[in-house]
Structure 1
Amino acid sequence: MIKIFEKRKIWYGISLAIMLIGLGFAIAFKGLNFGIDFKGGTILTFNMGEQVNQDKVQEVEKVISDFTKKYSARETNNTEIELIIQTGAIETEQVKELKTKVKEEFNLGDDYLVQEENISGSIGSELTRKAFIASILSCIAIAIYIAVRFEFEFGVAAIVALIHDLLITLSVYAILRIRINSPFIAAVMTILGYSMNDTIVIFDRIRENKKKLGKVETGELINSSISQTMRRSIYTSLSTLLTIMMMVILVPGIRELTVPLIIGIITGTYSSIFIASPIWATLRDKKDKKNPKAQYGKKKKTSEA
């Protein structure tokens, strides 16, 4: 049997270390790497009229660098390159000059401009606010569901695990300086649901084993329940990860959605196994100490007459 509960301080320490490193990177770089969806800016998509590779992207970047340094360029499909320019990095007239120079430099046709979109900073602020509200409401709804289906301590442990998943994901983004755009919000909502599903499976097994095993130590109850469900959790996560990784390799245009999903699924599986249940046990033990008559999962000693 795997000793999950007894080594809980190690699991907590690993998570805390990643969060602190992420915080350090965020402070060093003055915040997370928010993309155009949050900060605002201009998106230009050019049809290059031929197969696009990294060398072609670099050639386009040389042209762009004459106008601004605050940009990003990437290949979106076989023949197109997407350019993202931050708000305030370039004037409107310069955008027109940039488009003209790209067209002339690469001898592009009249249909060279596939997309031109401007996003204001106010829209980005609104998106940030709504994303935060959506995350909070999701956590509250999940806590209520868990508390009703199981008990209050399970609900609190589940919410702590979800906050853990979100903070770890943001920490990885801060460390790797991955850009955060609107697809990240969709990924976060998916991550919360996936992680919660995995956590509920373990919580349900804890409840079942409580009835089967009777009065056992809380640590033994958790270790037994996690050992019985760990293979299922790992296999489910691996099968999902393999599918998403294939999408990352074969469909580069949706990496802003698939990359956070990969990070979140790994984090969610970790928190379901190593974070949620130990936190529930800690909360339950504290409650039992305050109310000894309502022991739950604790072995009682009997005296002989």
Structure 2
Amino acid sequence: MAILRFNQTNFNFRFLEPHNIKKAMVVSAALILISIGSLIVQGLNFGLDFTGGTLVEVGYEQAADLEKIRAQLSAGGYADAVVQHFGTDKEVLIRLGVHADKKNDVLSNEVLALLRADGATIKMRRAEFVGPQVGKELVEDGGLAILYTLIGLLIYVTLRFEKRFSVGAVVALVHDSLITLGFFSLFQWEFDLTVLAAVLAIIGYSLNDTIVVFDRIRDNFLKLRKGTPTEVMNISINQTLIRTLVTSITTLLVVLALFFLGGELIHNFAAALIIGIIVGTYSSIYVASAITLKLGLTKLDLMPVEKEGEDMDDLEQMP
């Protein structure tokens, strides 16, 4: 039976043919294994939000030279300092690791003195200290936030669709989150609260894309009664392909602008979203839909359940 007979688009990609699913599963398995291995061996490079330390914000009269500031701090014994613009090129944010031998006010004054050594006019905007215990609690709370999100989405998809759909959707969300975390672990990019927010945003984005595909699959299972499950799901994915690509590309354009033009403060946030959008678009087809198909979904699973005696009630109401 030709798939084009049912298709309402010009696309006829056979995404869920067995050989294509096998190739996709090999790619996904490899990425997940690399991600888990890196997370076990290297872990995440947690930022100041999680590890604790001191944050110092200073203001210059002229545009600040970040490379010069880094050199000044490194020469003064603060080689671990993270320096970035904050808001404008005159405002500078400096993140320092934990220095247990120095109090917060002493540390911030030393940093200010190092930067003023060449005669520059600098004003202290603020100095904040994040304790290691607070950082540890944030790590735990962040992990629980992701876990609770996945559980809540599992319940939502189960209630809205069918249990096979919910399994496919949640596996896809775990897949996307793990691969995103794997990239940050593998390349040791800094993982802070903004990146955690990006991971949660990725979960929402990926689920939205998956639900659009699932909605069309559910509708087509009831309309295309002569099609096999593989045919019906391929048709559904092709019918939603334009919507998926347009949404992904337009979102990527915005995130790429943030990545290249948004400054260091949101650089890793944008990087996480870029990875998540690409992986999430892929997983909607080759993880969520493929797993749902492999679990044996048929049109009988989606047929509305008839209540006992419903036919008799209809007959009694007839004139």
TM-score bracket, shorter-length normalisation = 0.7 to 0.9
Kindly indicate whether the alpha-carbon contact (under 8 Å) linking 1:8 and 1:274 is maintained by their aligned counterparts in 2: yes
Would you say the 8 A contact 2:206–2:277 is kept in 1?
A: yes
Corresponding residue SS for 1:101: helix
Partner of 1:300: none
- Equivalent residue, structure 1, for 2:68: 59
Cα drift, residue 273 of structure 1: 1.8
Could you say which residue in structure 1 is the equivalent of 2:99?
88
Q: Is the CA contact 2:53–2:131 (under 8 Å) kept in the aligned structure 1?
A: yes
Which residue is 2:120 aligned to? 107
Going from structure 1 to structure 2, the CA distance change for 1:119 and 1:230 (only over 3 Å counts) comes to same
In 2, distance between residues paired with 1:248 and 1:216? 44
Is the Cα contact below 8 Å between 1:135 and 1:189 reproduced in 2?
yes
Who is 2:283 aligned against? 271
- Equivalent runs, 1:6-155 vs 2, <5 Å: 6=18, 7-27=20-40, 30-52=42-64, 56-65=65-74, 66-76=76-86, 77-88=88-99, 91-92=102-103, 93-109=106-122, 112-155=123-166
Q: TM-score, normalised by structure 1?
A: 0.86
Query: The residue matched to 1:104 in structure 2 has which SS?
Result: coil
Corresponding residue of 1:302: none
Aligned counterpart, 2:248: 237
Unaligned segments of structure 2, at least 5 residues: 1-11, 304-319
Paired with 1:218 and 1:75, the residues of 2 have a C-alpha distance of: 54
Counterpart of 1:228, as a letter, is: Q
Shift of 1:294: 5.8
Distance in 2, matches of 1:164 and 1:69, equals 36
Distance in 2, Cα, partners of 1:150 & 1:178: 37
200 and 157 in structure 1: CA distance in 2 versus 1, 3 angstrom threshold: same
Shift of 1:212: 1.2
Partner of 2:237: 226
- TM-score where L is the length of structure 2: 0.82
Structure 1 distance, partners of 2:109, 2:153, is 49
Cα shift at 1:162: 0.4
Q: For 1:90 and 1:4, how far apart are their aligned partners in 2?
A: 59
Task: Give the Cα separation in 1 of the matches to 2:278 and 2:266.
Answer: 19
Aligned length: 285
- The DSSP-based 3-state class of the residue aligned with 1:46 is strand
SS of residue paired to 1:207: helix
Deviation at 1:215, TM superposition (A): 4.3
How far apart are the structure 2 equivalents of 1:183 and 1:226? 33
Aligned to 2:13: 2
CA distance in 2, matches of 1:21, 1:215: 42
CA shift for structure 1 position 106:
4.6
- Could you say which residue in structure 2 is the equivalent of 1:257? 269
Q: Which piece of structure 1 moves more, 218-227 or 193-202?
A: 218-227
Equivalent position amino acid for 2:95 in 1: I
Contact 2:13 2:234 in 1 (8 A): yes
Alpha-carbon displacement from aligned partner over 1:41-82 (angstroms, at most 9, x marks no partner): 111122232123xxx212111221131332222223311222
Q: Compared with structure 1, are the counterparts of its residues 187 and 2 closer, same or farther at alpha carbon in structure 2 (3 Å cutoff)?
A: same
Structure 1 residue 183 displacement after superposition: 1.1
Q: SS where residue 13 of structure 2 aligns? A: coil
Q: Indicate conservation of the 8 Å contact 2:222/2:302, yes or no.
A: no
**Greater mean alpha carbon deviation, residues 61-70 or residues 17-26:** 17-26
Question: CA-to-partner distance for each residue in 1:128-179, whole Å, 9 max, x for gaps?
Answer: 1111222112111111111111101111111000001100111111223211
Partner of 2:314: none
The letter for the 2-side match of 1:270 is Y
Q: Is the 8 A contact 2:108 2:127 kept in 1?
A: no
Change (3 A) 1:101 1:69: closer
Q: Which runs of 5+ in 1 are unaligned?
A: 298-305
C-alpha change, 1:15 and 1:106, in structure 2 (3 Å) is: farther
Q: 1:260 to 1:172 in 2, by over 3 A?
A: same
Contact 1:48 1:106 in 2 (8 A): no
Q: Is the 8 A contact 2:32 2:175 kept in 1?
A: no
Shift of 1:13: 1.7
Sequence identity, in percent?
34
8 Å contact from structure 1 (residues 202, 225) kept in 2: yes
Q: Is the 8 A contact 2:35 2:186 kept in 1?
A: yes
